[in-house]
Amino acid sequence: MRRSVIGCAAAALALAACFVTPTVARALPAQYDPNSVQPMYRLYNRYTGEHFYTANSSERNSLTKSGWTAEGTGWLAPKVTEANKSSYAPVYRLYNPYTSGGDHHYTISKSEYDALEKNGWRGERIAWYSFSSSYGTSLHRLYNPHAQTGTHHYTMATSEKDSLVRSGWKYESSAWNGLPAGLVTAYAQLGKPYEYGASGPSAFDCSGFIAYCYGSARGRMTSEIIRSLKATGDWTTDINKLKVGDLAFTSAGHVGIYVGNRRYIEASSTSGKIVVEYMYSFYGGGSYY
């Protein structure tokens, strides 16, 4: 019985993957509000190979006490209330009790959720919610055909996705939409001084601010970041195509993080500090991830 349930569940996952459509019909307010998001914690079980994701800090703390490794914040999800939840798409969580150590699966597709429940997975209902595809950045969904547990992985980082694909994982689709965790870091720096050449933590210049919040995988200098964005096809000169959390350049020599409504958070030499300001010009930009 156990073997057949696992086999059927695997088949259901393969069949139901085609239902994954991370879209939300209703538009969201354009400007980012730091009080309207919640961190999504990412943990790793070195004994089973499973990654686990939760918005619940108590659950995260309990798992770390049990030996799971906390890997920080994976992305930001909308903070949902009864008044606003119709604006977001639910993400469902399931548990497979028939694998060694258990295994969790996450999906935005109610059809996939229902199919897995019918094949023996334990439905754990809504775990968190997704932003719209026009507002948030897609998370990649990958599948490891060689694993018995921890078979799926979800990440916003294209570099992590590409590394896993080279290691034998299969890219399946976009999973759902979130905001970069670096936005929390960015807003925590508001008011800190501008200093040419500085990369934090006490002072920043514009590209040093990006490196501190997001990393330097795309380079440290503005020219390097622009070349990288163009090389990966992520560069756009249409500000209407920017999403919250994207990089936004007002010139070839100045960059900040787009927060919607034609505003960005930046290390401003004019203001002498980290500020959120209106973008009076737009040179180009794109997703860091």
For position 127, what pLDDT does the model report? 97
For position 150, what pLDDT does the model report? 78
Average pLDDT estimate for 73-79: 96
Q: Tokens for 121?
A: 């997975």
Q: Domain end: 178, 197, 215, which one?
A: 178
Question: Range of 213's domain?
Answer: 182-286
Rounded to two decimals, what is the model's pTM? 0.86
147/200 same-domain check? no
Distance, in Å, from the CA atom of 179 to the CA atom of 114, rounded to the nearest integer, reads: 27
Average pLDDT estimate for 16-42: 66
Fill in the DSSP letter of residue 236.
B
pLDDT of residue 84 exceeding 50: yes
pLDDT of residue 3 exceeding 70: no
Residue 181: count other Cβ atoms within 10 Å of its Cβ.
20
pLDDT tens-digit readout, 236-262: 999 999 999 999 999 999 999 999 999
CATH number, residue 260: 3.90.1720.10
210/171 same-domain check? no
Mean pLDDT of the chain: 89
For position 236, what pLDDT does the model report? 96
Helix axes 222-231, 206-214, angle to 10 degrees: 50
40/145 same-domain check? yes
91/166 same-domain check? yes
pLDDT tens-digit readout, 140-174: 999 999 887 878 999 999 999 999 999 999 999 99
